[in-house]
Amino acid sequence: MSANISHHIPPEIMAAYAAGSLPHAFSLVVATHVSMCEDCRAELAAQETVGGVVLETLDSAEVSAGLKADVLSMLDDPVPPEPAPAKRSGVYPGPVMEALKGKPPRWKALGGGVKQCVLTGEGGSVSRLLWIPPGKPVPDHGHNGLELTLVLQGGFSDETGHFEVGDVEVATDDLDHVPTADPGAPCICLAATDAPLKFNSFLPRLLQPLFGI
Protein backbone atom coordinates (compact mmCIF):
# COMPACT_ATOMS: atom_id res chain seq x y z
CA MET A 1 0.00 0.00 0.00
CA SER A 2 2.94 2.36 0.63
CA ALA A 3 3.55 2.70 -3.12
CA ASN A 4 0.30 4.71 -3.45
CA ILE A 5 0.79 6.84 -0.32
CA SER A 6 2.18 10.30 -1.01
CA HIS A 7 1.19 12.24 2.14
CA HIS A 8 2.91 10.96 5.29
CA ILE A 9 3.21 11.78 9.00
CA PRO A 10 5.53 14.81 9.45
CA PRO A 11 8.82 14.02 11.26
CA GLU A 12 8.03 16.23 14.26
CA ILE A 13 4.72 14.45 14.86
CA MET A 14 6.37 11.05 14.40
CA ALA A 15 9.04 12.05 16.93
CA ALA A 16 6.37 13.04 19.46
CA TYR A 17 4.59 9.73 18.87
CA ALA A 18 7.83 7.77 19.35
CA ALA A 19 8.49 9.70 22.58
CA GLY A 20 4.99 8.97 23.89
CA SER A 21 4.13 12.67 24.17
CA LEU A 22 1.45 12.85 21.46
CA PRO A 23 -2.20 13.18 22.61
CA HIS A 24 -4.13 9.93 22.33
CA ALA A 25 -6.40 11.05 19.48
CA PHE A 26 -3.43 11.95 17.28
CA SER A 27 -1.58 8.80 18.34
CA LEU A 28 -4.49 6.76 16.98
CA VAL A 29 -4.11 8.43 13.57
CA VAL A 30 -0.34 7.88 13.57
CA ALA A 31 -0.64 4.24 14.65
CA THR A 32 -3.22 3.60 11.93
CA HIS A 33 -1.15 5.26 9.23
CA VAL A 34 1.97 3.38 10.34
CA SER A 35 0.02 0.11 10.07
CA MET A 36 -0.68 1.00 6.42
CA CYS A 37 2.66 2.53 5.38
CA GLU A 38 6.00 0.73 5.16
CA ASP A 39 7.91 4.02 4.81
CA CYS A 40 6.52 5.40 8.07
CA ARG A 41 7.11 2.10 9.87
CA ALA A 42 10.77 2.52 8.97
CA GLU A 43 10.68 6.17 10.07
CA LEU A 44 9.15 5.18 13.41
CA ALA A 45 11.80 2.51 13.95
CA ALA A 46 14.49 5.12 13.27
CA GLN A 47 12.90 7.57 15.71
CA GLU A 48 12.70 4.90 18.41
CA THR A 49 16.35 3.98 17.81
CA VAL A 50 17.39 7.62 18.23
CA GLY A 51 15.37 7.81 21.44
CA GLY A 52 17.11 4.69 22.77
CA VAL A 53 20.53 6.13 22.00
CA VAL A 54 19.64 9.36 23.83
CA LEU A 55 18.57 7.40 26.91
CA GLU A 56 21.85 5.48 26.90
CA THR A 57 23.82 8.75 27.00
CA LEU A 58 21.99 10.11 30.06
CA ASP A 59 23.80 10.05 33.40
CA SER A 60 22.66 7.41 35.87
CA ALA A 61 20.93 8.48 39.07
CA GLU A 62 20.99 6.98 42.51
CA VAL A 63 17.73 5.41 43.73
CA SER A 64 16.67 4.61 47.25
CA ALA A 65 17.00 1.08 48.61
CA GLY A 66 13.23 0.97 49.09
CA LEU A 67 12.51 1.86 45.44
CA LYS A 68 15.06 -0.68 44.24
CA ALA A 69 13.45 -3.39 46.37
CA ASP A 70 9.99 -2.52 45.07
CA VAL A 71 11.17 -2.79 41.47
CA LEU A 72 12.91 -6.10 42.07
CA SER A 73 9.81 -7.53 43.77
CA MET A 74 7.76 -6.69 40.70
CA LEU A 75 9.98 -8.97 38.62
CA ASP A 76 8.42 -11.94 40.43
CA ASP A 77 4.88 -10.96 39.42
CA PRO A 78 3.32 -12.84 36.53
CA VAL A 79 3.60 -10.98 33.23
CA PRO A 80 0.26 -10.48 31.48
CA PRO A 81 0.17 -11.82 27.92
CA GLU A 82 0.63 -9.40 25.06
CA PRO A 83 -2.73 -8.49 23.50
CA ALA A 84 -3.28 -10.13 20.14
CA PRO A 85 -3.03 -7.69 17.22
CA ALA A 86 -6.47 -6.50 16.14
CA LYS A 87 -7.45 -7.88 12.75
CA ARG A 88 -8.39 -5.60 9.89
CA SER A 89 -12.13 -5.52 9.24
CA GLY A 90 -13.06 -4.18 5.82
CA VAL A 91 -11.62 -0.68 5.51
CA TYR A 92 -10.72 -0.41 9.21
CA PRO A 93 -7.10 -1.24 10.15
CA GLY A 94 -6.18 -2.84 13.46
CA PRO A 95 -5.77 0.32 15.59
CA VAL A 96 -9.20 1.56 14.50
CA MET A 97 -10.79 -1.81 15.25
CA GLU A 98 -9.24 -1.64 18.73
CA ALA A 99 -10.77 1.81 19.24
CA LEU A 100 -14.12 0.42 18.03
CA LYS A 101 -13.71 -2.53 20.42
CA GLY A 102 -14.21 -4.86 17.48
CA LYS A 103 -17.70 -3.54 16.72
CA PRO A 104 -19.03 -1.71 13.63
CA PRO A 105 -19.04 2.11 13.81
CA ARG A 106 -22.14 3.73 15.31
CA TRP A 107 -22.73 6.51 12.82
CA LYS A 108 -24.50 9.76 13.66
CA ALA A 109 -25.70 12.11 10.93
CA LEU A 110 -24.07 15.54 10.66
CA GLY A 111 -26.14 16.81 7.75
CA GLY A 112 -25.69 16.77 4.00
CA GLY A 113 -25.24 13.00 4.09
CA VAL A 114 -22.05 13.27 6.19
CA LYS A 115 -21.83 11.02 9.25
CA GLN A 116 -19.44 10.68 12.16
CA CYS A 117 -18.52 8.13 14.81
CA VAL A 118 -16.55 9.55 17.76
CA LEU A 119 -13.84 7.13 18.90
CA THR A 120 -11.88 8.90 21.63
CA GLY A 121 -12.12 12.20 23.48
CA GLU A 122 -9.81 13.09 26.32
CA GLY A 123 -7.58 16.00 27.28
CA GLY A 124 -9.20 18.24 24.67
CA SER A 125 -8.30 16.02 21.71
CA VAL A 126 -10.93 14.00 19.82
CA SER A 127 -10.68 11.26 17.19
CA ARG A 128 -13.59 10.35 14.96
CA LEU A 129 -14.48 8.44 11.84
CA LEU A 130 -16.07 10.51 9.08
CA TRP A 131 -18.28 9.10 6.30
CA ILE A 132 -18.71 11.45 3.33
CA PRO A 133 -20.97 10.59 0.36
CA PRO A 134 -19.29 10.37 -3.06
CA GLY A 135 -18.78 13.77 -4.66
CA LYS A 136 -20.06 15.68 -1.62
CA PRO A 137 -18.16 18.50 0.12
CA VAL A 138 -17.63 19.05 3.83
CA PRO A 139 -18.73 22.59 4.81
CA ASP A 140 -16.12 25.31 4.34
CA HIS A 141 -14.09 25.56 7.54
CA GLY A 142 -10.84 26.59 9.19
CA HIS A 143 -9.07 25.32 12.30
CA ASN A 144 -8.41 26.53 15.83
CA GLY A 145 -5.60 23.99 16.25
CA LEU A 146 -4.20 20.87 14.60
CA GLU A 147 -6.19 18.37 12.58
CA LEU A 148 -4.84 15.09 11.16
CA THR A 149 -7.07 13.34 8.60
CA LEU A 150 -6.22 9.84 7.34
CA VAL A 151 -8.11 8.36 4.37
CA LEU A 152 -9.32 4.78 4.93
CA GLN A 153 -11.57 4.44 1.88
CA GLY A 154 -12.12 6.51 -1.27
CA GLY A 155 -10.43 9.86 -1.35
CA PHE A 156 -10.94 13.63 -1.23
CA SER A 157 -9.53 16.82 -2.68
CA ASP A 158 -9.22 20.33 -1.30
CA GLU A 159 -7.19 23.49 -1.78
CA THR A 160 -3.96 21.67 -0.82
CA GLY A 161 -4.22 18.65 -3.13
CA HIS A 162 -5.67 15.17 -3.52
CA PHE A 163 -5.65 12.50 -0.80
CA GLU A 164 -6.16 8.77 -1.34
CA VAL A 165 -6.21 5.69 0.92
CA GLY A 166 -3.33 5.86 3.40
CA ASP A 167 -2.67 9.58 2.86
CA VAL A 168 -2.66 11.97 5.82
CA GLU A 169 -3.60 15.64 5.57
CA VAL A 170 -2.10 17.92 8.22
CA ALA A 171 -4.24 21.02 8.74
CA THR A 172 -3.30 23.89 11.05
CA ASP A 173 -4.87 27.22 11.94
CA ASP A 174 -3.67 28.83 8.70
CA LEU A 175 -5.78 26.57 6.46
CA ASP A 176 -9.36 27.18 5.33
CA HIS A 177 -10.65 24.50 2.98
CA VAL A 178 -13.60 22.62 1.51
CA PRO A 179 -12.69 18.91 1.40
CA THR A 180 -14.74 17.20 -1.32
CA ALA A 181 -15.09 13.43 -1.58
CA ASP A 182 -14.09 11.70 -4.80
CA PRO A 183 -16.79 10.13 -6.96
CA GLY A 184 -17.24 6.38 -6.57
CA ALA A 185 -17.09 4.88 -3.09
CA PRO A 186 -17.96 6.96 -0.02
CA CYS A 187 -14.92 8.61 1.56
CA ILE A 188 -14.20 7.25 5.03
CA CYS A 189 -11.58 9.08 7.07
CA LEU A 190 -10.07 8.90 10.53
CA ALA A 191 -9.65 12.46 11.86
CA ALA A 192 -8.18 13.87 15.06
CA THR A 193 -8.46 17.44 16.37
CA ASP A 194 -7.36 19.29 19.48
CA ALA A 195 -9.79 22.21 19.11
CA PRO A 196 -13.20 22.85 17.53
CA LEU A 197 -13.31 23.65 13.82
CA LYS A 198 -14.09 27.17 12.56
CA PHE A 199 -17.06 26.86 10.18
CA ASN A 200 -17.50 29.77 7.80
CA SER A 201 -21.26 29.51 7.24
CA PHE A 202 -24.08 30.07 9.70
CA LEU A 203 -25.86 26.68 9.80
CA PRO A 204 -22.77 24.55 10.58
CA ARG A 205 -21.81 27.03 13.31
CA LEU A 206 -25.33 26.81 14.75
CA LEU A 207 -25.27 23.00 14.85
CA GLN A 208 -21.64 22.68 15.94
CA PRO A 209 -22.32 22.39 19.71
CA LEU A 210 -24.70 19.50 19.06
CA PHE A 211 -22.11 17.51 17.14
CA GLY A 212 -19.00 18.42 19.12
CA ILE A 213 -16.90 18.93 16.01
Per-residue model confidence (pLDDT) at position 41: 94
Cα separations in angstroms, 122 against 127, 161, 184: 9, 30, 34
Burial of 113 (0-12, 13-18, 19+ CB in 10 A): middle
Ramachandran class of 184: left when φ > 0, alpha when ψ lies in -120 to 50, beta otherwise: left
pLDDT at 12 over 90: yes
Task: Give the pLDDT mean for 156-168.
Answer: 97
pLDDT at 169 over 70: yes
Per-residue model confidence (pLDDT) at position 38: 94
Per-residue model confidence (pLDDT) at position 17: 96
- Domains of the chain by residue range: 7-74, 94-211
Per-residue model confidence (pLDDT) at position 94: 96
Per-residue model confidence (pLDDT) at position 113: 93
Q: Considering the domain 7-74 in this protein, what is its CATH number?
A: 1.10.10.1320
The HSE-up count of residue 156 (CA atoms within 13 Å, CB side) is 28
From CA 116, how far away is CA 98, in angstroms rounded?
17
Helix axes 11-19, 24-36, angle to 10 degrees: 110
Per-residue model confidence (pLDDT) at position 78: 44
Domain 94-211 maps to which CATH number in 3.40.50.11540, 3.40.50.1820, 2.60.120.10, 3.40.50.300? 2.60.120.10
Beta strands in 27-104 (DSSP E): none
pLDDT at 202 over 80: no
Residues 81-137: tens digit of each pLDDT: 333 444 577 899 999 999 999 999 999 998 889 999 999 987 789 999 999 999 999
Residues 52-85: tens digit of each pLDDT: 544 444 455 554 555 445 444 444 444 433 334 4
Question: What is the value of pTM for the model shown?
Answer: 0.79
Q: Say if residues 38 and 5 touch (Cβ distance below 8 Å).
A: no
pLDDT at 150 over 50: yes
Per-residue model confidence (pLDDT) at position 198: 73
Task: Give the pLDDT mean for 10-32.
Answer: 96
Task: Give the pLDDT mean for 152-172.
Answer: 97
Arithmetic mean of pLDDT over the chain:
83
